[in-house]
Amino acid sequence: IAGITQAPTSQILAAGRRMTLRCTQDMRHNAMYWYRQDLGLGLRLIHYSNTAGTTGKGEVPDGYSVSRANTDDFPLTLASAVPSQTSVYFCASKAGLNTGELFFGEGSRLTVL
């Protein structure tokens, strides 16, 4: 089934540890996004990539990094996790910049202790 796969689905992490959330899509979409979702705050954009080889900062990029080596993969790395990064993380993609529909992965629930 075509779509977006995120891994892990859930993780508990000690503060200070490095963590990479994986995201792979098989729809050949150009644009990919990482959001975090916290209660009462909605979806906040962390980083995005409009096409392979390019990335950009979203609303809340501090403490996170991304890479886009190819069309399909868009990993999100927390270099040194802090408790405020406890959240649900969603990877999403869409076919083009001016198309409306975002396709989301199932989410990765991260707890930093």
Alpha-carbon gap, residue 51 to 63, rounded angstroms = 22
Look at residue 83 and give its three-state secondary structure: helix
**β-strand pairing of 4-7 with 10-13:** unpaired
Tally the residues of the chain.
Answer: 113
Of residues 1 and 40, the one with the C-beta less far from other proteins = 40
Question: Does residue 97 interact with other proteins by CB under 8 A?
Answer: yes
Q: How far is the CB of 18 from other proteins (least distance, A)?
A: 25
CA dist., res. 95 & res. 36, Å (int): 21
| 75 binds other proteins, rule: CB under 8 A | no
Of residues 33 and 72, the one with the C-beta less far from other proteins: 33
Give the residue with the Cβ less far from other proteins, 12 or 79.
12
Q: Would you say 33 or 78 has its CB closer to other proteins?
A: 33
Binding mask 46-65 for other proteins (x = CB under 8 A): --x---------x-------
CA gap 70, 88 in Å, rounded: 25
Residues 6+ apart with CB under 8 A from 69: 52, 53
Residues binding other proteins (CB under 8 A): 40-45, 48, 58, 90, 97-98, 100-102, 104-107
